[in-house]
């Protein structure tokens, strides 16, 4: 059979055409003024390493150097992760109410890779997935690329961003493949109570819909709050929990994530096999870090985690105090993670008509970058990343106050 092509005509695939990162399109509009004299301060990227104040514990570096020097961790690891790495994840995250063995763990390329596998194994083209609004934009990007419909359940700011459970239930139909729950939350910094998580689980149980629990901010919670892994609160809802080293260990660039499979009464038998199949396509994270994972997960001293929480709590206090005093802005106090959502009272501003315009002008005039709520499907808010150093945060809020004073009616 001969080809009838007479010239080059190469089109990108359907999948590539559908692939998009909604943050990118918005952030591209937020330009630094080339004539700006003020030093640029980014409150926009959820990467705690940028300012040098949050580091991985030294013991993790030592574990990696040790593994390098054995010359034994340089080969291809098994596709779903080495037994030692999976065993360490099972030991760290398994509890009597939700026990884990190494066979229930799949190692992935970051939590993003873990999420991709979860969506791929649970959702077919034409089905739908229930996502939080506001929420982390990767969920929708993954779903839409795969022709999976996205339906949004609202988080209620007046209730510390709890899920509108009544609305959640109404969204479920015969095509609902799963519910994604993110706790603690990006972008909200919320941490759900046991009772609230149980209310969500009750809906999932009633309609037999499995859950993907994005628990990447595992235990990053402030005084007065407790983190409950979702799988510990149910005996009948099957759950895929995803996590990684990026946030709790402050090394997003290491690209290590995982899925823990919490089956209930065999409901996930096919799903575990499907995940193993999917993991065969592209190998997980690099062999050296996998080899060091048992040390990193099981030997990092408790004082390291406590130190990070203390710093985040201080930054939260500084952020809430400063932003509450700025007319036109209303922060929702975070309970964990590393973000704060701030409501903008748009009608009170004389020349700002949206959160995107607020962020654009703040960037152009004050060289401070915050992501508009639009990036998280939630207009009239901005999201502030609270990991910068105290002096950078204070400077950013000083500039934000000047900016709002100029633009407020
Ligand atoms: C809620 C949430 N899930 C997943 C991820 C992705 O994590 P990773 O960097 O390990 O891919 C992030 C990163 O910011 C996140 O905030």
DSSP-derived 3-state class of residue 177: strand
- 110 and 240 fall within a common domain: yes
Residue 233 lies in a domain: yes
pLDDT digits (tens, 9 = 90+) for 50-96: 999 999 999 999 999 999 999 999 999 999 999 999 999 999 999 99
Residue 320 lies in a domain: yes
**Residue 1: its pLDDT value, please?**
62
Q: Ligand 1, atom 14: nearest CA belongs to which residue?
A: 46
Average pLDDT over residues 302-306: 97
Q: Ligand 1, atom 1: nearest CA belongs to which residue?
A: 186
Between the alpha carbon of residue 68 and those of residues 245, 250, 289, 292, 360, the distances in Å are: 19, 21, 9, 9, 45
**Residue 284: its pLDDT value, please?**
85
The answer to whether the beta carbons of residues 247 and 232 sit under 8 Å apart is: no
Residue 30 lies in a domain: yes
Dist CA 47 CA 104 (whole Å): 29
Question: How far is the first Cα of the chain from the last one, in angstroms, to the nearest whole number?
Answer: 72
* Tokens standing for residue 324: 């509450």
Residue 6 lies in a domain: no
**Residue 25: its pLDDT value, please?**
77
Atom of ligand 1 nearest to the CA of 217: 1
pLDDT digits (tens, 9 = 90+) for 89-138: 999 999 999 999 999 999 999 999 999 999 999 999 999 999 999 999 99
**Ligand 1 pocket check for 228: Cβ under 6 Å:** no
- 270 and 337 fall within a common domain: no
Residue 383 lies in a domain: yes
- 149 and 182 fall within a common domain: yes
- 92 and 21 fall within a common domain: no
**Listed residue (144, 136, 118, 223) closest to 182, CA to CA:** 136
State the alpha helices, DSSP H only, in 287-366.
Answer: 287-299, 302-324, 355-366
Atom of ligand 1 nearest to the CA of 337: 16
Residue 8 lies in a domain: no
Residue 314's CATH number: 3.90.1150.10
- 203 and 63 fall within a common domain: yes
**Listed residue (21, 33, 30) closest to 382, CA to CA:** 30
- 88 and 192 fall within a common domain: yes
Residue 400 — very low, low, confident or very high, per pLDDT cuts 50/70/90? very high
Between the alpha carbon of residue 151 and those of residues 74, 133, 176, 349, the distances in Å are: 43, 9, 9, 32
Residue 409 — very low, low, confident or very high, per pLDDT cuts 50/70/90? confident
**Residue 27: its pLDDT value, please?**
78
Please give the distance, rounded to the nearest whole angstrom, from the Cα atom of residue 338 to the centre of ligand 1: 12
**Ligand 1 pocket check for 342: Cβ under 6 Å:** no
Dist CA 18 CA 25 (whole Å): 14
- 291 and 216 fall within a common domain: yes
**Ligand 1 pocket check for 93: Cβ under 6 Å:** no
Residue 386 lies in a domain: yes
Mean pLDDT of the chain: 95
Atom of ligand 1 nearest to the CA of 257: 10
Q: How many domains does the chain have?
A: 2
Ligand 1 pocket, mutate which of 108, 155, 216 (most atoms under 8 A from CB): 216
Last residue of a domain, one of 266, 299, 332: 299
Answer yes or no: is pLDDT of 24 > 80: no
- 340 and 198 fall within a common domain: no
Residue 276's CATH number: 3.40.640.10
Residue 139: give the domain boundaries: 58-299
Last residue of a domain, one of 274, 299, 324: 299
**Ligand 1 pocket check for 244: Cβ under 6 Å:** yes
- 77 and 207 fall within a common domain: yes
95 sits in which H/E element: none
Q: Ligand 1, atom 7: nearest CA belongs to which residue?
A: 111
Q: Residue 120: is the preceding peptide bond cis (ω within 30°)?
A: no
156 sits in which H/E element: strand 149-156
Ligand 1 pocket, mutate which of 118, 136, 155, 191 (most atoms under 8 A from CB): 136
Answer yes or no: is pLDDT of 22 > 80: no
Please give the distance, rounded to the nearest whole angstrom, from the Cα atom of residue 131 to the centre of ligand 1: 15
**Ligand 1 pocket check for 362: Cβ under 6 Å:** no
Dist CA 7 CA 14 (whole Å): 21
Q: Ligand 1, atom 16: nearest CA belongs to which residue?
A: 186
Ligand 1 pocket, mutate which of 115, 138, 141, 230 (most atoms under 8 A from CB): 138
Higher-confidence position of 19 and 201: 201
Residue 7 lies in a domain: no
Last residue of a domain, one of 299, 320, 346: 299
Reading phi first (left if > 0) and then psi (alpha if -120 to 50, else beta), residue 219 is in left
Answer yes or no: is pLDDT of 28 > 80: no
Please give the distance, rounded to the nearest whole angstrom, from the Cα atom of residue 296 to the centre of ligand 1: 19
**Ligand 1 pocket check for 43: Cβ under 6 Å:** no
Ligand 1 pocket, mutate which of 155, 247, 334 (most atoms under 8 A from CB): 247
- 371 and 253 fall within a common domain: no
Residue 360 — very low, low, confident or very high, per pLDDT cuts 50/70/90? very high
**Ligand 1 pocket check for 252: Cβ under 6 Å:** yes
Listing DSSP states for 233-256 in one string gives G-SSS-EEEEEESTTTSS-GGG-E
Average pLDDT over residues 331-360: 97
Q: Ligand 1, atom 13: nearest CA belongs to which residue?
A: 46
Atom of ligand 1 nearest to the CA of 46: 14
Average pLDDT over residues 241-258: 97
Percent of the chain past pLDDT 90, that is, above it, reads: 91
- 40 and 180 fall within a common domain: no
Answer yes or no: is pLDDT of 4 > 90: no
Answer yes or no: is pLDDT of 21 > 90: no
Percent of the chain past pLDDT 70, that is, above it, reads: 100
pLDDT digits (tens, 9 = 90+) for 365-388: 999 999 999 999 999 999 999 999
**Residue 30: its pLDDT value, please?**
81
Residue 303 φ/ψ, nearest 5 degrees = -60, -25
Dist CA 249 CA 63 (whole Å): 14
Please give the distance, rounded to the nearest whole angstrom, from the Cα atom of residue 328 to the centre of ligand 1: 30
- 239 and 283 fall within a common domain: yes
Please give the distance, rounded to the nearest whole angstrom, from the Cα atom of residue 41 to the centre of ligand 1: 22
């Amino acid at each position: 059979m001969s080809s009838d092509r007479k010239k080059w005509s190469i089109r990108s695939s359907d999948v590539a055409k559908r692939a998009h990162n909604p943050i990118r399109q918005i952030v591209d509009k937020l330009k630094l003024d080339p004539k700006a004299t003020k030093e640029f301060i980014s409150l926009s990227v959820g990467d705690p390493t940028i300012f040098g104040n949050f580091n991985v514990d030294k013991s993790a570096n030592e574990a990696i150097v040790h593994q390098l020097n054995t010359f034994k961790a340089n080969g291809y690891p098994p596709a779903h992760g080495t037994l030692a790495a999976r065993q360490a994840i099972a030991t760290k995250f398994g509890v009597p109410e939700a026990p884990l063995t190494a066979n229930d763990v799949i190692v992935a390329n970051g939590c993003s890779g873990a999420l991709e596998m979860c969506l791929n194994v649970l959702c077919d083209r034409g089905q739908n997935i229930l996502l939080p609004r506001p929420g982390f934009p990767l969920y929708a990007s993954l779903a839409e690329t795969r022709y999976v419909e996205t339906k949004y359940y609202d988080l209620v700011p007046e209730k510390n961003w709890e899920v509108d459970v009544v609305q959640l239930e109404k969204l479920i139909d015969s095509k609902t493949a799963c519910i994604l729950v993110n706790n603690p939350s990006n972008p909200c910094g919320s941490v759900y109570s046991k009772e609230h998580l149980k209310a969500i689980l009750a809906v999932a149980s009633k309609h037999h819909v499995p859950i993907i629990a994005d628990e990447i901010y595992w235990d990053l919670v402030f005084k007065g709050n407790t983190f409950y892994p979702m799988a510990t609160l149910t005996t009948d809802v099957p759950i895929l929990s995803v996590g990684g080293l990026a946030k709790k260990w402050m090394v997003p660039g290491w690209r290590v994530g995982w899925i823990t499979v919490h089956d209930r009464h065999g409901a996930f038998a096919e799903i575990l096999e499907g995940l193993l199949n999917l993991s065969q396509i592209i190998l997980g994270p690099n062999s050296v870090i996998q080899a060091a994972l048992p040390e990193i997960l099981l030997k990092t001293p408790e004082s390291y985690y406590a130190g990070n929480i203390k710093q985040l709590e201080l930054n939260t206090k500084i952020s809430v105090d400063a932003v509450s005093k700025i007319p036109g802005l209303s922060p929702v106090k975070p309970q964990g993670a590393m973000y704060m959502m701030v409501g903008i009272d748009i009608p009170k501003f004389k020349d700002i008509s949206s959160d995107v315009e607020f962020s654009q002008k703040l960037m152009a005039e004050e060289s401070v970058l915050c992501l508009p709520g639009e990036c998280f499907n939630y207009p009239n808010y901005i999201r502030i990343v609270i990991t910068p150093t105290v002096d950078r945060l204070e400077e950013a809020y000083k500039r934000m106050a000047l900016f709002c004073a100029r633009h407020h009616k």
